[in-house]
Amino acid sequence: MESFRTDLLLIALMAMLAPMLAELPKSFRIPIVVAEIILGILVGPKALHLVEPSLVIDALAHLGLTFLIFLVGMEIDLGKIGRRPLTTGALGWTLSFAVAITCVLVFQALGLIRLPLLLAAGALTTTALGILVPILRDSGEIDTDFGKYVLASGTIGELGPMFLLSFMAIPGHDNFLHTLFVLSFLTITLIAAYLAIRVRSSPLLDRLARSMQSSGQLPVRICIAFQALLILLAGKFGLDVVMGALASGMVVGLASKGPGGDVLRSKLEAIGYGFLVPIFFVTAGIHFDLDALWASPLVPLQIMILLALLILVRSIPLFIYRRSLSPADIVPFILYSATGLPLIVVITEIALPLGLMSPERAAVLVSAGMISVLAFPILADRLRMRLGLSA
């Protein structure tokens, strides 16, 4: 127990230091997610040996994972983005996924990449929506046409790989039953979404909002209980927990839409981004196999190949965007869309216990994701500033 308290203190300190590192230096800011993982590596068993993985810490990290996906679901506002950007984003992601499958097969045949096919393709086509939203908001571009297309690409880049992840742990049922379970879960989610929209204009919401200033915090507790319910149902229906967390986040996002829900959103974000989510990323750093980065002379080449593939698979469908983006927007759009660390970490954290990926391969994949988050948004922002496109 004493060891757990010490480990939790060190993880909390690393989580506290991460946003400070993210602000310094201002000319080359490190994304908070990258800072959290780096600090986790620093205090973990591969560096300073200050913190060891434990069942309690891993349980808190698992809660952080589900809350991260829940918050991502809350950020997805399909109505605000618009039908055309979403349709274009969906077509673009589908083409990117097909290209990713082809590329992974080729590099697997050459022996340069040894990752499960669907996992690798999902990781190559994911987009870090949770990182892009603050960047676009701070630059004043979140409501511009460019911002909407980036958000649409990011939204599909979150939903597509997550839907893929939901089928990673296929239950012991035949295909018909599994399909029936998936459809049942989707039906329940759609009914909950319909009720959320109805409740949004109900006097009940006003009564619940008044309890936000009391110690009861009933709306917050309802949201957490609803998240736990959909996660449980997702597991019962043979889906992964990420689909339950994502679905619950999207439903809560619908129910809390508008000025009346701002307080609820801020409280949920404080629980997630202030407590549970940092524990997940710091713990991911603690589990990070640092030795794997120099276990083979091919590792640097594999990381470079993965970075090139992240850009390549997002570059192929650009002809779909030719009527929506100006030529000057093309390269920044590719770089933003190819930014993908958080879900890459999620993919590795889910795949490792299932034996679908070795720690060495997970380390290579996470390293490529860290570089993408660190470099791609900065390059895109600098390019747009140079061209005078940034707001």
The 3-class SS string of 69-124 reads: HHHHHHHCCHHHHCHHHHHHHHHHHHHHHHHHHHHHHHHHHHCCCCCCHHHHHHHH
236 pLDDT more than 70 = yes
How far apart are the C-alpha atoms of 108 and 302, rounded to whole Å?
11
Residue 270: how many CB atoms within 10 A of its CB? 11
pLDDT at residue 10 in the model: 92
> Average of pLDDT values for 249-265?
82
266 pLDDT more than 70 = yes
Phi-psi region of 217 (alpha: psi -120 to 50; beta: other; left: phi over 0): left
Domains and CATH numbers, the chain: 2-386 (1.20.1530.20)
How far apart are the C-alpha atoms of 91 and 376, rounded to whole Å?
23
Report which of residues 326 and 388 the model is more confident about. 326
Q: Which stretches of the chain are DSSP H helices?
A: 2-23, 32-43, 55-75, 78-81, 83-110, 117-124, 129-138, 145-165, 175-200, 203-210, 218-236, 241-255, 262-271, 277-287, 299-315, 330-337, 341-351, 359-386
How far apart are the C-alpha atoms of 168 and 335, rounded to whole Å?
28
For 326-382, how does the pLDDT look when each residue is reduced to its tens digit (9 = 90+)? Answer: 888 888 899 989 988 777 887 887 777 777 777 878 888 888 888 888 788 878 877
Lowest mean pLDDT among 47-51, 183-187, 228-232: 183-187
Q: Which of 244, 251, 248, 249 is nearest to 197 (CA)?
A: 251
For 134-178, how does the pLDDT look when each residue is reduced to its tens digit (9 = 90+)? Answer: 777 766 777 788 888 888 888 888 888 877 766 654 444 455 666
As a whole number, the mean pLDDT across the chain is 81
Handedness of CA 59, 60, 65, 69 (dihedral sign): positive
How far apart are the C-alpha atoms of 203 and 124, rounded to whole Å?
45
